[in-house]
Structure 1
């Protein structure tokens, strides 16, 4: 019995050691290469927006630059899409993914998340004269309401799961989706509160509907390699320190105006 116990312990130790050795060593790779590979869709103000190939701006872009600097590295931004975000990340194309990513259990199955850095629930945006019409999910989820959404992310999931009675329209470009509402081709778009607020400032015709009381709770965080506990702890501690020393607040004020 004792021999079996010892053998089981040895096998367990070997398995744990093998798992630790096979786990991705992101921190070491970034340090050695002096490059932090950052996947981002680049179509989601105020988090990440691409002006031209390789030219990104936004809150998450500034924060990724801060994270890279803490590692004595430079960020390399890799364009992806919401539909390809998780496949690209799991395929190892990047070390971290940013850009207004909502925490979800489906994504958690294949990747780690950093500690959340923002609560940012689902909020409708519509023409200002229609704000009173779209105060609740029930009011939006009607056959006569034209709901537009972008593919591949939590906005599509919310539209299909919560607004199935409305007339749903898939729009491939998140950047131009707001123009469709202004033109009268759609009635409402449900996205995160931060984007609804920023886009309402950019487009005076549009108003965010109760962004301080979102229709559905959501958190923003960064995608990290599954199984890499060392890198997750590093990113979480870096994020904690940026919030404690005021760096995060300064960047947030720059992009969100608060």
Structure 2
């Protein structure tokens, strides 16, 4: 870790999961830095489980945090977080950045299920998630964002998600919200005044032949097959609790 600088904190957390040859998954690399602490929790069957524990507030303005996870062939990894992440303004000022880089090998499986990201008033955060999947890989990726705390306007939040499968682009999308974002982000054609938004990407080899059909999951939620063995669920809700309920129901149906 580069530690604290006048520009904020620089820290990276790294996870590597490998099949242990006995039907389980080993974690030869589990390395957290600064505010990004990693804890191995009780495994379930073939799956290793890791919890990301925020050791400090943030990310704050000027911070640059990154989480990297690599899943080897036949390994199974689930990553969650102990609490919501809250983007806050910091003394250093400027934009904070949070990078997520995930790589899943053939026949590997990753379930990425963190708690919500809350964009507090006055904060500026850019989240960039890049996912590389080999043929035969399985993925569950959940991303939930809450715009502002109770009774508070949001900060500026920019989120980009890129998923590549077998060397080809599967999904590449970006959303900007809050002060300084392009006009109309909160209008009826985008968020319609809702303050909780989420997306769920599920990649399974069997979807190549039999993808789930496109359908509405409620007034502000929908399931859409992608051009590959994957589906995308997008949802809006007035609050984080209702959003999680929608996402949990979709996840249960798809897995």
TM-score, length-scaled by structure 2: 0.23
The structure carrying a bigger helix percent of its residues is 1
TM-score, length-scaled by structure 1: 0.23
The structure carrying a bigger strand percent of its residues is 2
Of structures 1 and 2, the one with the larger relative CO (CA 8 A, separation 6+) is 1
Q: Which has the larger radius of gyration?
A: 1
